[in-house]
Structure 1
Amino acid sequence: MQTIEALSHRLSSYLEPNQINLVKRAYFYAEQAHDGQKRRSGEDYITHPLAVADILASMHMDYQSLMAAMLHDVIEDTGISKKAISKQFGSTVAELVDGVSKLTQIEFESHAEKQAENFQKMALAMANDLRVILVKLADRLHNMRTLGAMPPHKKRRIAKETLEIYAPIAHRLGMNDMRLEFEDRGFYAMYPLRASRLQAALKTARGNRKELVEQIQTAIEKRLGRENLTALVIGREKHLYSIYQKMRTKKKFFKEIMDVYAFRIIVDSVDTCYRVLGVIHNLYKPVLGEFKDYIAIPKSNGYQSLHTVLVGMHGVPIEVQIRTKEMDEMANNGIAAHFLYKSTSDDALTSSHNRARQWVQGLLEMQQRAGDSLEFIENVKIDLFPDEVYVFTPKGRIVELPHGATPVDFAYAVHTDVGNNCVACRVNGRLAPLSQPLQSGQKVSIITAKDAQPNPNWLNFVVSGKARSAIRHFLKHQRHTQSVALGKRMLSKALTELQLELEKLTEEQTLALLDATKMKSLEDLFEDIGLGNRVAYAVAKLLKPGAEFKGKTGSTHAPLTIDAGEGMMVTFARCCRPIPGDPVIGHISPGKGLVVHQDTCRNITELRQKPEKISQVNWAPNVSGEFLADIRVEVESERGIIATLATRITDQGASIEHINVRERDAHNSVIHLCIGVHNRIHLANIMRRIRNMSFVIRVQRSKN
């Protein structure tokens, strides 16, 4: 069992004596605080903080991180406050401890929400100090190592959380050794039977492969020796969880995955990496398209290496990674590899730290935009997937995006405003659809328009968390603004009918309204009315309880005017597709706001019995926007009818949304068209032009 003396001895190899004393002081403080507490395994509780500090010591972390590791459960489990820790050990250590502590004080709806809130708090703390996440990862690693004492359902829950969040974070920060241990331990806890079966199969396969691995290794070493290149060649084992993942995602058999032989070649300089690559490609033939240069373009977590796949003797595939000692250290320990030096010298603020900081900065942006912690964590999970695509801006800057990213993701990665105003894109100079997945190496330029807005359909294909959260944020804000404006108009109209004016309400009347509706502000009340969750007339009657509205809907006063075709809180019914110029009527639908129908629509008949839900609406004198209308065209069957018809319609400045053709018999067909028009006059002109065509028998506006 680890003792504080053994740890001190270990720390003496890289920390100053006074720093080691501070770590010891934190240990004795925690030991006292946790006095009498036991872990599930029966050991004294202090063994856990000590083990966490030991994991951090193996990464050569600084003394403040080690002090935070000793104290990380003190706030949560012993009732000692952050203030007390700050007084004893300084504010930096207290902030670290607070960042790692879970939110035990708040009651949550569900475990998922609790987990999400914890992660959100940790993300905020990470933004101030990245060491928070390293202490948290070490804490989780020791918990995974001592899972044995937990009941099965808890084991599975902790393992799931580790595989979904902590392993990808370790990967994102380049800490490969930790990620592998998280994944394998998580796999054993989640699926004990699958893991043990795979382990047995791996053991058997290893024995059968041994000879061939040695042969390939010897051949590589000999050839490098002949070229006077000093290198360390290591046969690389695939770990359990990655074999399982490949079998699942790529639908491959165990044998197919084990047929690949993997080696790592570690050299002294970047120059030698490329020389070794040349020698290896001379020894065995490389597989076309499998070479990747992560030295020139590092992965987003700072990982650098040359990757190539060769065809060896007997046609066996050989994967080779070539890297320097520093790159290997970076690949295994990631951001932790440089932590100690960072605190002492400025120039060592390495690229990995910058990358990690940028990532955390991105997390913060998402956190501010997300509606709640569950949405935030969903976006973070998307961003933790490791596969990247590297594309170029028109000026040659490299932008890293998750696998499957589209030009919309690229636009948001450049800047939120570019994403919000994006209308089209060029990929390698050619116009391309916004939903097309990007490939590494492509040059992407975004075309923007000043008044453009994000399209809700983008949520169906964007893959990056930043794009998803920015689009949702914009749509929520737009919905809020529009529903407040609509609700205000509706309440104002209802009050006018009671001889009251919204602008002239006294403070008592306003407070009485808010009190009766249990709303915090008038804006919230307007939004609720605009969303259709409350009826404006019912709210107005709260001020004059005995009052009666005149007419069926108080139609003596000015109806609501509709002045645009697009809006989130005013929608046009699909059953009758009203367009400017049609007599219209509106009804309030919960969550949708105002739904506008043609006055003659059959679907509105029942609603007329509930006058409070009906709203008088009118078109503004000059309505802007495009409105959909359905028309039915009977034609004599001829070749090329659709093309001629489409040309005639588009010549009139209308767009075609949908075409459906039904054959009646050998000679006649019926074509149903859904077209975008500006108003009734525009539609009448189009129908007249269609009627004049030689093959048209009849054209009419269809009512569903």
Structure 2
Amino acid sequence: MMRPRIMRQVELVEKVLAYDPDADEDLLNRAYVFSMKAHGTQKRASGDPYFSHPVEVAGILAGMKLDSTAIATGLLHDTLEDTVATSTEIEKNFGKDVLRLVDGVTKLSRIELQSDRTRQAENFRKLLLAMSNDIRVLLVKLADRLHNMRTLHFIGTPDKRKRIAKETMEIYVPLADRIGMQDLKEELEDLAFAELNGDARASIISRLEQLRNEGGKLVDRIADRLKRTFAEQGVEAWVSGREKRPFSIWEKMQRKNIAFEQLSDIMAFRVVVKDLASCYHALGVVHQTWPSVPGRFKDYISTPKQNGYRSLHTTVIGPENKRIEIQIRTQEMHDISELGVAAHWQYKHNGKEAPEAEARQYRWLRELLEILEQASDPEEFLEHTKLNMFQDQVFCFSPKGDLIALPRDATVVDFAYAVHSDIGDTAVGAKVNGRVVPLRTTLRNGDQVEILRSKVPAPNPTWLNFVKSGRAKSCINRFIRQQQRGQYSELGKAILVKAFREHDAAVSEKALDPAVKVLKLRNAEDVYVGVGDGNITARQVLNIVFPGNRESEADKAPPLPRLHKPSSGKAGSGIPIRGLIPGMAMHFAGCCHPLPGDRIVGIVTTGKGVTIHTIDCDALEQFAEQPERWLDLAWDSPSEAEKSQGHVGRISLVINNEPGALSALTTIIAKHKGNITNLKITNRTTDFFEMFVDIEVRDVKHLTNIIAALRATASISSVERAKG
């Protein structure tokens, strides 16, 4: 096979000078020669000289129009790790800036950690710290990953290829998205998709080819028609069109659960106009000429994405009766959509970027750094940052009109933590669009949110069950850890005071010094916490502080018995169920309370019979790997006598804390012939009660009617069928 030609030194320099006439040619030439000599005869998995990789990375960076320092870093980024070159040599030959960037980009494989996932999390953590000082670190790293993905097929081990592709999807794709580098993000996605699901990608490419053959040069024809229409209406515009990439098509098919044939907007057209006013003029021309598709218009100019992306998006039934997506923007917006933060970096260094635009662009990075400070370990950090980077966004406003971007399905608590961690910690209530709502309320685009606060910080651990943002989760976890640490410290100190008393000694920091050293802890406080949470026993501490002493009576005491939670299932009913083995014991699960009319399955447990769950019960996940325990069940047609039997359904409610609210609840249930068998208030605030109510009903339709009636009641904020 013919080897690709390595870009020559003069070609690289000319490519940089084409967009930056003031580039440091001497720096680029020296970096090129140094890297070539340092990598010497090293080879890549493809058999190419290793030096081809840093040259390709430098070429990608030149395509982003970065400065000479970044290009030199691309040429040198692997010299510290993969060659005998030293930091001193890099600094001496190329200066402190280049050394700092090379250090930031250098892979961290020298760190020996326990698992691939932990290593991945720790590397990502260190990458984030490095790029927080200079965003060019991330740009070089992304260029490095892009070239490695382009040559991924040369790696002989399938497991290694899959691991690299998965890491690309989980870390580098969302990072590229967050800094607005759309084309680079889409290429990384598609290259990873080829490895992770090659058959699906090949199938989509085949279908696209088939469409091209049927429609001829359809994209070109539609682009020409758009150009003519704009020209006729006096709009000066540059128009280009393209098909969406295979992964983008596949993702939409998965997200919307539709077949390829049902996709009607696989073509996207970019319209670049001269100024901001022309964007809205062009949009008017489009909507005046072709019917728009309802719900498909987005104005990212007035409310930019968090990565700085600005554009107008609309979908219309366009020329040749084809459904097409049209994106309208200025040249500057287009540069930023193509190059993301690289373009921001250029505008900033040319003195064109406003301070508020820069602040908005880097806000996400500051948020990730806060999560980094609060995470207890690398894996928790990785999980929370993935939460922050992956999810679609909803835009809400503070009472002062500040725009806050949040993940989809974010709640009031997520909003509070997005404004400031102190506001989240002290939140006790909220007003959305002037109306008092519970903290678990899900926010929608355009909501104006005011947080009601207390003087004392007291995040509720139950908030973890409904918050969506990584920032909120990490702040709540941090508070819980601090609170638990204080409790463990007090308990541990009390245990040690009692243990030391039996040796006629007093507990003090000085007395615990030997234990601190032997157990390799930071201070006496860590000893108290370790004893309090059970990781260290009082006997261990005593043996270190008083070597050779006898066991105390307390140490001889048997451990406390472990408590077991009783089963929540109840006795079976006379309603016939198809699929059960005659005579087999059965009971309904207390987690989902199945009712006649629900789709149901049975889980067989030796010695207990069959537990019946609804098909969407969360508890079924734990049995996913045990198909032999599943029974396919269905409700049989009941007799008239059996129809009158009661079954318990559970609902969860949030009701206003006001006179008559509870009375209204019970009256409505009674009016609809339901019978309350149990009621439990789970959370109580000055404004709301959250509760579970068990209601005896005939079937799922009966319960649904009761829920509908409750939702129409002013004193009831929300009501859902409970699943847990």
TM-score (ref. length: structure 1): 0.75
Match of 1:98 among 99, 103, 124: 103
Superposed CA offset, 1:316-354 (max 9, x none):
5332221112212211111112434533x4343676643
1:109 to 94, 106, 114: 114
- 1:51 & 1:67 partners in 2: Cα distance? 12
Matched, 1:369 2:346: no
Per the alignment, residue 333 of structure 1 pairs with 339
Partner of 2:71: 66
Would you say the 8 A contact 1:34–1:78 is kept in 2? yes
Unaligned runs of 5+ in 1: 555-570, 576-636, 664-704
- Which one of 524, 527, 535 corresponds to residue 526 of structure 2? 524
Question: Judging changes above 3 Å, is the alpha-carbon distance between structure 1 residues 397 and 14 closer, same or farther for their aligned structure 2 residues?
Answer: same
Residues 230, 267 of structure 1: 8 Å contact kept: yes
Counterpart-to-counterpart distance in 2, 1:645 and 1:342: 60
- Check 1:118–1:391 CA distance in 2 against 1; reply closer, same or farther (3 A cut): same
Cα offset, 1:39, TM superposition: 1.2
Aligned to 1:190: 196
Give the SS at the match of 2:99: helix
Residue 165 of structure 1 corresponds to: 171
Question: Contact (CA 8 Å) 2:676, 2:694: kept in 1 or not?
Answer: no
CA separation of 1:161 and 1:271: change in aligned 2, threshold 3 A: same
Amino acid at match of 2:268: A
Give how far 1:296 is off.
1.1
CA 1:424/1:573 → structure 2, altered by over 3 Å: closer, same or farther? farther
5+ long unaligned stretches in structure 2:
567-669, 698-724
State whether residues 190 and 247 of structure 2, in contact with CA within 8 Å, keep that contact through their aligned partners in structure 1.
Answer: yes
Equivalent residue runs for 1:219-618 within 5 Å: 219-258=225-264, 261-312=267-318, 316-343=322-349, 345-348=350-353, 353-385=358-390, 387-503=392-508, 507=510, 509-514=511-516, 519=521, 521-536=523-538, 539-540=541-542, 543=546, 546=549
Indicate how the Cα distance of structure 1 residues 381 and 494 shifts in structure 2: closer, same or farther if over 3 A, else same: same
Contact kept in structure 2, 1:234 and 1:263, CA below 8 Å: yes
Distance 2:199 2:373 in 1: 42
Provide the C-alpha distance between the structure 2 equivalents of 1:545 and 1:458, rounded to a whole number of angstroms. 49
Tell me which residue corresponds to 1:46: 51
Could you tell me how far 1:657 is from its partner in structure 2?
A: 6.7
- Deviation, 1:313, is 7.0
Matching residue's letter, 2:171: I
- After TM superposition, the structure 1 stretch with the greater mean CA deviation from structure 2, 315-324 or 190-199, is 315-324
Report deviation, 1:241. Answer: 0.4
Partner deviation per Cα, 1:374-425 (whole Å, 9 max, x = no partner): 2111111111125211100011111111212111111011100000111111
| SS in structure 2 at match of 1:384 | helix
Measured at CA, do residues 156 and 349 of structure 1 come closer, stay the same or move farther in structure 2, by a change above 3 Å?
farther
SS at match of 2:328: strand
The residue that corresponds to 2:138 in the other structure is 133
**Percent identity (aligned):** 40
Q: Deviations over 1:537-561 (max 9, x none)?
A: 674476385557579999xxxxxxx
- Cα separation, 2, equivalents of 1:220 and 1:89: 50
Whichever residue aligns with residue 12 of structure 1, its letter is: L
The separation in 2 between residues aligned to 1:551 and 1:403, in whole angstroms, is 53
Bigger Rg, which one: 1
SS at match of 1:12: helix
2:181 pairs, out of 171, 175, 181, with: 175
SS at match of 1:285: coil
Deviations 1:455-509 (A, max 9, x none): 1121222121111111111111111121011111121123224432224x8x4x5
Q: Following the alignment from structure 2 to structure 1, what is the Cα–Cα distance between the partners of residues 530 and 261?
A: 60
CA shift, 1:440, in A, is: 0.8
Distance in 2 between residues matched to 1:395 and 1:403, nearest whole Å: 22
> Aligned pairs, how many?
576
Matched-pair contact (CA < 8 Å) for 2:677–2:694: no
Change (3 A) 1:44 1:261: closer
1:436 offset after TM fit, Å? 2.3
Q: Distance in 2 between matches of 1:338 and 1:313?
A: 35
Residue type of the alignment partner of 1:155? R
Aligned counterpart, 1:686: none
Equivalent AA in structure 2 for residue 510 of structure 1: L
Aligned to 2:26: 21
- 3-state DSSP of counterpart to 2:447: coil
Tell whether the 8 Å contact from 1:301 to 1:352 is kept in structure 2 after alignment: no
State the partner residue of 1:694.
Answer: none
Q: Root-mean-square deviation (CA), in Å?
A: 3.2
**Cα deviation, residue 645, structure 1:** 10
Q: CA deviation at 1:245?
A: 0.7
1:14 CA displacement: 2.9
Residues 326 and 548 of structure 1, relative CA distance in 2, 3 Å threshold: closer
Q: Shift of the alpha carbon at 1:11?
A: 2.0
More displaced 10-residue stretch of structure 1: 526-535 or 112-121: 526-535
Residues 175-207 of structure 1, C-alpha deviation per residue, up to 9 Å, x if partnerless?
111111111111112222221111111111233
Question: Residue deviations 1:637-684, cap 9 Å, x none?
Answer: 99999799999xx9xxxx997676899xxxxxxxxxxxxxxxxxxxxx
Cα gap change, 1:352 to 1:384, in 2 (>3 Å)? farther
Q: CA deviation at 1:248?
A: 1.3
**Which of 78, 86, 94 lines up with 1:89 in the alignment?**
94
- 1:159 Cα deviation (Å)? 1.1
Distance in 1, matches of 2:299 and 2:495, equals 62
- Aligned 8 A contact 1:205 1:258 in 2: no
Q: Is the 8 A contact 2:28 2:71 kept in 1?
A: yes
Tell me if the contact between 1:49 and 1:72 (Cα under 8 Å) persists in the aligned partners: yes
Deviation at 1:519, TM superposition (A): 5.0
Checking the alignment, whether the CA contact within 8 Å between 1:52 and 1:142 is kept in structure 2 is yes
Higher relative contact order (CA closer than 8 Å, sequence separation 6+): 1
* Counterpart residue type for residue 118 of structure 2: E
1:13 partner SS: helix
In 1: Cα distance, 2:87 partner to 2:25 partner: 22
One-letter amino acid matched to 2:330: T
Q: Which 10-residue stretch deviates more, 525-534 or 36-45? A: 525-534
SS in structure 2 of the partner of residue 107 of structure 1: coil
Taking the TM superposition and a 5 Å limit, the aligned residue runs for 1:687-702 are none
The residue aligned with 2:149 is: 144
Distance in 2, Cα, partners of 1:332 & 1:645: 57
Which deviates more from structure 2 when the two are superposed, residues 317-326 or residues 415-424? 317-326
Q: Is the 8 A contact 1:541 1:547 kept in 2?
A: no
**Structure 1: how far apart are the matches of 2:62 and 2:98?**
16
